[in-house]
Amino acid sequence: MSRRRSAQWIMFLCLLPAMGSAEGDPKAAATRFGFEFEEGVPMKIDADELEARRDEKTGRERVEFTGNVRVEQGDLRIQCNWLEAIYPKGGGGKPSRITARGAVRIKQLNNEAQCTEAILNNDRCTARCISDDGPAVLKRGEEVVKGEQILMDMCKGVLKVKGAKVQFGAEKAKP
């Protein structure tokens, strides 16, 4: 068996416990990757500036946060330089799309994602993390996945990484 094929099998076997057996359950699928926005839990957003407006053509509301953006919801934390939330026509409810840019860091429990742009699309149930100054990084405990682009389908429980580099176990400190 080739080294590449062995790595693919190891990755598959390590993801199985994370994926569980919650086929068809969007909430369980979202937790497969360790990140979850909880319904009914208050969200707090702090930023240097906020701008909100309604798009005359589409009727959708757009809220933009700039400078030192910090989002908290339960144990979920997001830090970035700029964040935009786009709401469905008529407003209210949860945003249909959230885009975060600039030193994006998303943390929840023992999981962390780092990139320069993160796009969470609630309509499509996807999250994409990309970086233009190095790899996007997804850490789960001591497991680290790096790539040019990390795409998660939260409802189907699918993880796709372009240019994947995977590390299992913590790096040993060099003497």
Q: pLDDT for 45-89, tens place per residue? A: 899 999 999 888 888 899 999 999 998 888 888 999 999 999 888
Q: What is the mean pLDDT of residues 132-155?
A: 89
Higher-confidence residue of 144 and 42: namely 144
Residue span of the structural domain in which 116 resides = 43-167
Total number of domains constituting the chain: 1
In a domain, 85, yes or no: yes
Q: Sign of dihedral through CA atoms 89, 92, 96, 97?
A: positive
Listed range (11-20, 25-34, 104-113) with the worst mean pLDDT: 11-20
Percentage of residues of the chain with pLDDT beyond 70: 73
Q: What is the mean pLDDT of residues 149-161?
A: 86
Q: Which residues contact 61 (CB under 8 A, 6 or more apart)?
A: 52, 53, 54, 55, 86, 87, 91
Identify the residue whose tokens are 């030193």. Answer: 103
Q: How far apart are the first and last CA of the chain?
A: 34
In a domain, 11, yes or no: no
In a domain, 38, yes or no: no
* CATH number, domain containing residue 72: 2.60.450.10
pLDDT score of 30 more than 50: no
pLDDT band of 111, cuts 50, 70, 90: confident
The whole-angstrom distance between residue 99's C-alpha and the CA centroid of its chain comes to 10
In a domain, 138, yes or no: yes
pLDDT band of 91, cuts 50, 70, 90: low
CA distances from 85 to 25, 71, 100, 101, 119 (A): 25, 12, 9, 12, 10
* Structure tokens belonging to residue 95: 């945003």
In a domain, 19, yes or no: no
pLDDT score of 171 more than 70: no
* Structure tokens belonging to residue 135: 């790899």
pLDDT band of 130, cuts 50, 70, 90: very high
Higher-confidence residue of 125 and 47: namely 47
In a domain, 88, yes or no: yes
In a domain, 103, yes or no: yes
In a domain, 28, yes or no: no
